[in-house]
Amino acid sequence: MPAPRLPHVPARLPWPDTTGPDPSQAALDALWSKTRAVRVYPGELGEHGPLARAPAVELRGPDVAELARLLAFEAPPERFRVPSLGQCALELRGRLFRVGLLGLDAEGALRVSGWGSDVTLREPAAVFAWIAEKGGPSLAEARQQGAR
């Protein structure tokens, strides 16, 4: 089943920067290779990190590998940005420091900090169901957060 088509935002937004590199699964896999833990925050991903003060859950070990598998996507045919991408923020942590920031939208968009475009997840409902099972925000909570 093809991924849902998300709204295209042609205007250059002050943040996030749309001049970054094109998204690729290989680039995301490189981030995952440095990741030892993932902090899952409810709500919006800001320019410098999650806006929520505390994570809902921290994932480690096999859970990190499973989340990486679930966040598979197709490279978009053209660059796009979802105007509000604030339903769930993921902070990828290395041994000592943050190695990446990801934002998830309830409609299936994934934003990786530093990339010039958002991407569409293959199975967004499965991602949110799995995150909710681990103690993070559910798809219903994410949609409610996005409606605010």
- Secondary structure (DSSP) of 28-51: HHHHHHH-SEEEEEES-EETTEES
Higher-scoring residue by pLDDT: 16, 38: 38
Helix or strand holding residue 148 (H, E):
none
What's the pLDDT tens digit per position in 42-57?
Answer: 888 877 888 888 999 9
Is 20:114 a contact under the CB 8 Å cutoff? Answer: yes
Task: Name the band, by pLDDT with cuts 50, 70 and 90, for residue 66.
Answer: very high
Question: What crossing angle do the helices spanning 62-70 and 124-133 adopt, rounded to 10°?
Answer: 160
pLDDT (mean) for 97-123: 90
Handedness of CA 60, 111, 121, 144 (dihedral sign): positive
Domain residue spans of the chain: 31-44+51-147
The distance of Cα 110 from the centroid of its chain, to the nearest Å, equals 4
Which H or E run contains 79?
none
Instruction: Tell me the three state secondary structure of residue 41.
Output: strand
pLDDT of 6 higher than 60: no
Alpha helices in 51-106 (DSSP H): 62-70
- 17 exposure class (CB count in 10 Å sphere: 0-12, 13-18, 19+): middle
Predicted pLDDT of residue 137: 84
Q: Extract the tokens encoding 17.
A: 């920067």
Position 98 confidence tier, pLDDT thresholds 50, 70, 90: very high
Instruction: Please tell me the pTM assigned to this model.
Output: 0.81
